[in-house]
């Protein structure tokens, strides 16, 4: 598979071969997985990270992170991700690029087999740190125009919209942060939100409301995305009046929340009704030897700092489990 390395660690991770046996396999190389790798490396556990795309995960696509302690001026997502990856690489991190698709435990040895595409590795313990992916609106035109006006990543695609009209859908932290980022390029950024109150942090809401390039469509939803070759207009519905509005746009950036990457775990560990992995306070899942960390876990606050904290705790719990006589 092709690997996008948005993060180019100064120290390259050792690329693992299939068929290896490890103390600990971490599925997912975002802040939770990388922090778990740092703690596991310091505990001298033989550790592998399986990652399908980018070390740093979703965090590496954030243009600026303002609430990670130690960076009062903020830090670019890819820069923070690179620092984390470098720190893990220094401790001998091994990476296997691929998509984890299955997990099963051997009856006799109690080792876990992790299937990655057409390969398998074995581990005494596993940490699930697969995070989430952007939720989809599910409206006509969304899939058709993906990459041709519909985007889920402002940092990746924003520069294509210089002096253009953009809408951002959603009212959470991601939508407002990315709308602010897009004002660097776009002539006008309209935020379409289904309520008249933002879910985002107050400080972000204040910034967006006072920005000269940002406009709001309150209590409105997108019903359809239209165009010919590329997006040219969206159909909005005002939920109070039920009136429809057609607005010409060049780009639609969708930030309406997250879907946990836990589909391959359904038969392995207990999930909540939304698909997030249930854990106890030591981050153990319902399956012995499997732990979960970061945004894929059922929890209250999904932030880089809480993902990192999860990674540390999951690695410590995994170490305890592995070293148990
Ligand atoms: P989020 O906080 O879940 O917000 C999703 C937004 O999309 C909400 O405003 C929601 O509306 C709206 N929405 C949901 N489904 C919709 C639909 N079908 N149609 C229209 N609108 C819909 O998601 P997020 O902003 O992607 O953030 C995900 C997580 O990452 C959150 O825990 C967030 O705090 C965290 N995060 C943190 C930061 C930061 O701290 N700097 C930055 C980015 C993300 P309602 O409000 O009406 O539900």
For the stretch 209-244, pLDDT in tens is 999 999 999 999 999 999 999 999 999 999 999 999
Cα 296 from chain centroid? 9
> Are 238 and 220 in contact, with CB atoms under 8 Å apart?
yes
Ligand 1 within 6 A of CB of 31: no
Name the pairing type of β-strands 251-254 and 231-238: unpaired
Span from the CA of 172 to the centroid of ligand 1 (angstroms): 4
Domain boundaries, the chain: 14-133+258-323, 136-254
Model-level pTM? 0.82
pLDDT per position as a tens digit, 10-19: 556 666 666 7
- Secondary structure (DSSP) of 76-110: -HHHHHHHHHHHHHHTT-EEEES-EEEEEE-TTT-
Q: pLDDT tens digits for 89-114?
A: 999 889 999 999 999 999 899 999 99
Other C-beta atoms within 10 Å of 320: how many? 13
Characterise 235 by phi-psi region: left (phi > 0), alpha (psi -120 to 50), beta (else): beta
Helices (H) and strands (E) in the chain, counts: 6, 18
- In CATH terms, are 14-133+258-323 and 136-254 the same topology? yes
Using the mean position of ligand 1's atoms as its centre, give its distance from the Cα of residue 169 in Å: 10
Taken in order 290, 292, 297, 299, the sign of the CA dihedral is: positive
Which CATH homologous superfamily contains domain 14-133+258-323? FAD/NAD(P)-binding domain (3.50.50.60)
CATH superfamily of 136-254: FAD/NAD(P)-binding domain (3.50.50.60)
Question: Measured from the CB, is residue 58 less than 6 Å from ligand 1?
Answer: no
Q: pLDDT tens across 143-201, in order?
A: 999 999 999 989 889 999 999 999 999 999 999 999 999 999 999 999 999 999 999 99
Alpha-carbon span 151 to 168, nearest angstrom? 10
pLDDT recorded at residue 226: 98
Angle, CA 31 vertex, CA 253 and CA 167 arms, to 5°: 10
Which of 283, 257, 296 shows the shortest CA–CA distance to 27? 296
The answer to whether residues 6 and 54 touch, using CB atoms and an 8 Å cutoff, is yes
Q: Is there an atom of ligand 1 within 6 Å of 170 CB?
A: yes
């Amino acid at each position: 598979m092709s690997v996008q390395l948005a993060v180019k660690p100064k120290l390259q991770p050792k690329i693992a071969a299939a068929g290896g046996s490890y103390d600990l396999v971490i599925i997912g190389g975002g802040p939770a997985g990388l922090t778990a790798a740092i703690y596991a490396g310091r505990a001298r556990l033989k550790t592998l990270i399986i990652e399908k795309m980018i070390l740093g995960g979703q965090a590496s696509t954030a243009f600026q992170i303002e609430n990670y302690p130690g960076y009062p001026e903020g830090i670019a997502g890819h820069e923070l991700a690179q620092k984390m990856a470098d720190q893990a690489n220094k401790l001998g991190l091994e990476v296997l690029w691929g998509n984890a698709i299955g997990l099963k435990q051997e009856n006799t040895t109690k080792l876990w087999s992790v299937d990655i595409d057409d390969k398998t590795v074995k581990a005494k313990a596993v940490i699930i740190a697969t995070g989430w992916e952007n939720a989809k609106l599910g409206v006509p035109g969304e899939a058709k125009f993906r990459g041709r006006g519909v985007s889920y990543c402002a940092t990746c695609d924003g520069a294509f919209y210089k002096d253009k009209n953009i809408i951002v859908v959603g009212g959470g932290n991601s939508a407002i942060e990315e709308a602010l980022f897009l004002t660097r390029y776009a002539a006008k950024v309209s935020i379409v939100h289904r309520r008249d109150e933002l879910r985002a942090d107050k400080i972000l809401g204040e910034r967006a409301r006072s920005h000269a390039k940002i406009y709001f469509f309150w209590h409105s939803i997108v019903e359809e995305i239209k165009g010919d070759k590329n997006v040219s207009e969206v159909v909005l519905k005002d939920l109070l009046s039920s009136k429809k509005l057609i607005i010409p746009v060049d780009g639609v950036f969708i930030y309406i929340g997250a879907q946990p990457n836990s589909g391959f775990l359904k038969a392995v560990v207990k999930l909540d009704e939304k698909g997030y992995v249930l854990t106890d306070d030591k981050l153990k899942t319902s399956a012995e030897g499997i732990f979960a960390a970061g945004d894929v876990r059922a929890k209250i606050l999904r932030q880089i700092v809480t993902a990192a904290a999860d990674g540390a705790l999951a690695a410590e719990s995994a170490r305890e489990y592995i070293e148990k006589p």
